[in-house]
Chain A
Amino acid sequence: MTRESLDLPSPTFGLPVRPAPSPTRVEWRSQDRTFVLSVVNFGLACCSVEFLAAVQGRAEAMAAGTIDARARHAGVVTDDGPRTSIEVLVISGTCTDALAPAVKVLYDQMPEPKRVVSFGACSNTGGPYWDSYSVTKGIDQMIPVDVYVPGCPPRPEALLGALGELMRDHDDQRGSVTP
């Protein structure tokens, strides 16, 4: 039996139906190449709102879709170089033990190379729910985390800083991305 045949109210409450969230694509211009970051937000609680604020304008460079990290190499002018894709998973919000398997599945299904950003105190350590019976004390218990962003919630701009932290090695070593 479908929802329509039951004559239930629309779950969108009359708002226009949005498609499933697609990754936010950010081009990261490094010294000798361009990394295309496909940033997926797994929004579990309130920190997710800060992620949305970041990609919709608060973090200007991120919203614009291009981050030029070449400025740190003074005097070096390069073209954009070869393009490499990296999948970035951002866990924003409180992860409960009941939901933890879903986080693991999402991570496992992402293609390599992939990186994980833990966004906010809850996904870092459990945060305010550090003594809770039902909250996972940090998503790093299930999946490897590359960058931890502090805050409750973190400011939107902190997401940009987290990407900087994530890409630091690639900028420093002109390195190739290893899975």
Chain B
Amino acid sequence: MTRPDGVPAQGPVVSPRVHGVIALVEENCTSCMLCARECPDWCLYIESHTETVPATTPGGRDRSTHVLDRFAIDFSLCMYCGICIEVCPFDALHWSPESDYSEGSLLDLTHERTRLSGWRATPAADGPSDVREPPDPVSGS
């Protein structure tokens, strides 16, 4: 394995659920603001607006839906606690093991939603974010 800029392999293989960076599954996000409110570092920024979806059946009702305008995490501030991932009701956030994204400018460490979505490629993006081993069966003691 070689980095894009030619620096050779990184060392040991890490678990796909290592707390490296937080990936966004944009289509799962409902702009509910729960993650931004729970973040102890105040480092998660969401902006959204409301759109009206016309009724699909005659006589039906129009629905209103929230559309995401901005989703950004400031990784210069983030403490990688994972509360945003735990609190998301729709699994729109999950861990990715990538850890190599240092920057020459602090502002570049704020990852906007395109970049956050890009981290989806690295872990097993097909599974839910919190796959856990089943608990050991209780021994009959």
A residues whose Cβ falls under 8 Å from a Cβ of B:
57-61, 67-73, 117, 121, 124-128, 130, 138, 140, 146-152, 154-158, 160-165, 168, 171
**What A residues does B8 contact at CB under 8 A?**
61, 67-68, 71
Count how many chain B residues have C-beta atoms less than 8 Å from C-beta atoms of the other chain: 34
- The smallest beta-carbon distance between A63 and chain B, in angstroms, is 8
- The smallest beta-carbon distance between A2 and chain B, in angstroms, is 43
A160 to B2, CA, bound (A): 12
- The smallest beta-carbon distance between B135 and chain A, in angstroms, is 28
B7–A121 touching, CB < 8 Å: no
**What B residues does A162 contact at CB under 8 A?**
102
A158 to B41, CA, bound (A): 22
A98 to B41, CA, bound (A): 23
A128–B79 touching, CB < 8 Å: yes
A130 to B77, CA, bound (A): 8
Return the CB mask of B5-37 against A: 1 if under 8 Å, else 0: 111111110100010110000000000000000
| Total A-B Cβ pairs within 8 A | 113
The one of B9, B105, B106 that contacts A138, using a Cβ cutoff of 8 Å: B106
B104–A146 touching, CB < 8 Å: yes
The 10 A-B residue pairs whose C-beta atoms are closest, nearest first, are A72-B6, A161-B100, A155-B99, A150-B75, A71-B6, A149-B102, A128-B79, A157-B10, A164-B7, A162-B102
List 29 contacting pairs A-B, 8 Å CB cutoff, sorted by A: A60-B10, A61-B8, A61-B11, A69-B6, A69-B7, A71-B8, A72-B5, A73-B6, A121-B77, A121-B80, A128-B79, A147-B102, A147-B104, A148-B109, A149-B102, A150-B75, A150-B76, A150-B78, A154-B102, A156-B11, A157-B100, A158-B99, A160-B10, A160-B100, A161-B3, A161-B7, A165-B102, A165-B103, A168-B5
Q: A59-B10, A158-B100 are in contact. List 4 more A-B contacts (CB 8 A).
A: A130-B77, A149-B102, A156-B11, A158-B102
Residue of B nearest to A126 (CB): B77
A73 to B18, CA, bound (A): 32
**What B residues does A140 contact at CB under 8 A?**
106
A109 to B29, CA, bound (A): 50
